[in-house]
């Protein structure tokens, strides 16, 4: 069952994830954004003119949650929503100039945060960490029992 002096691996990973998430949110807030705004802006750069449903699917969010995020971003002038002329029930989302500027600010903050995380850790160890995290996720998703 592993080494008894160590906490269960899931608990350790969850604690670190909470710490990193809070620190990342703080870094993005200092740049005038949030993690949810950053993820939406990034997705719109990858898939310009995406629909609300496409964004929700890409970010693994319920559509109601996506609507909430987009409403705030629209209020802040970062995005526009317009009806698809071919299907009036579908909203296409586009970045405004302010959204484009926010994307670049948040990309810089995200990059600096990532560099901070990697400080003093050899690339091989980071690669091994990535592989280990992927195995942990696979074990949970596939019900693997080792």
**Strands annotated E in 1-105:** 79-84, 87-95
The separation between CA 94 and the C-alpha centre of its own chain, rounded to angstroms, equals 18
pLDDT of 7: 83
List residues bridging with 87 in a β-sheet: 84
Residue 32's domain comprises 9-108
Comparing C-alpha atoms, which of 85, 102, 94, 84 is closest to residue 49? 94
More confident residue, 84 or 96: 96
pLDDT band at 87 (very low <50, low <70, confident <90, very high): confident
- In angstroms, rounded to a whole number, what is the distance separating the alpha carbons of residues 34 and 111? 14
Give the DSSP H/E element, type plus range, for residue 96: none
Residue 35 lies in a domain: yes
Question: How many domains is the chain partitioned into structurally?
Answer: 1
Q: Which residue has the tokens 């029930």?
A: 89
pLDDT of 6: 80
Give the CATH number, domain containing residue 103: 1.10.10.10
Q: Which DSSP state fits 7? A: P
- pLDDT tens string 62-83: 989 999 999 999 999 999 998 8
CB 83 within 8 A of CB 91: yes
- pLDDT tens string 20-42: 999 999 999 999 999 999 999 99
Residue 26 lies in a domain: yes
List residues bridging with 95 in a β-sheet: 79
Residue 122 lies in a domain: no
Q: Which residue has the tokens 């970010």?
A: 59
pLDDT band at 3 (very low <50, low <70, confident <90, very high): low
Residue 3 lies in a domain: no
pLDDT of 104: 97
Residue 37 lies in a domain: yes
pTM equals 0.83
């Amino acid at each position: 069952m592993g080494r008894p002096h160590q906490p269960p691996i899931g608990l350790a990973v969850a604690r670190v994830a909470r710490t990193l998430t809070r620190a990342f949110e703080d870094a993005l807030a200092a740049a005038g954004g949030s993690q949810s705004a950053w993820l939406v802006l990034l997705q719109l750069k990858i898939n310009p003119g995406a629909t609300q449903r496409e964004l929700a699917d890409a970010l693994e969010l319920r559509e109601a949650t996506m609507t909430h995020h987009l409403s705030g971003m629209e209020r802040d002038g970062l995005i526009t929503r317009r009806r698809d002329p071919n299907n009036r029930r579908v909203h296409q989302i586009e970045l405004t100039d302010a959204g484009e500027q926010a994307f670049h600010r948040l990309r810089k903050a995200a990059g600096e945060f990532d560099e901070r995380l990697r400080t003093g850790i050899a690339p091989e160890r980071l690669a091994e960490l990535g592989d280990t995290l992927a195995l942990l996720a696979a074990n949970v998703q596939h019900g693997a029992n080792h």
